[in-house]
Amino acid sequence: MADGLDLDEMIQRFRDRAQAVKNRPLPPIAGEERARFVRQAQLDFQDFAIIGDSEATLEDGVLTLRVDLRPADDE
C-alpha cells in the first residue's frame, strides 16, 4: 500500500475498537452522566463497526470505504 498503509490492518483495528467498546465496563456513574456514557458508547460502537465492516480501496491516493448498509435479507 502507499506509504506503508495496510488497509486490511486498518479495517481490523476498527473491528478491534468496536469489540473493545462493546466489552467496555460501565464506570460507577449514575443518572444523566450514565445515560451520556451509554449513548456515547453506542455511537462509538456503531461508528467503529461500520468502518470495520467496510471494504477499503486505495486508488490514485484516494481512500474509499464501501459500506453496504442494506439489511441482511437484501444481500
pLDDT score, position 2: 54
From first to last of its 75 residues, what are the pLDDT tens digits of the chain?
456 889 999 999 999 999 999 999 989 999 999 999 999 999 999 999 999 999 999 999 999 999 998 888 865
Domain enclosing residue 24, as ranges: 2-74
pLDDT score, position 56: 96
Coil, helix or strand at residue 16? helix
**Cβ–Cβ under 8 Å, residues 5 and 43:** no
Q: How many domains are there within the chain?
A: 1
Amino acid at 21: V
pLDDT score, position 24: 92
pLDDT score, position 15: 96
Angle ∠(35,41,47) on CA atoms, nearest 5: 135
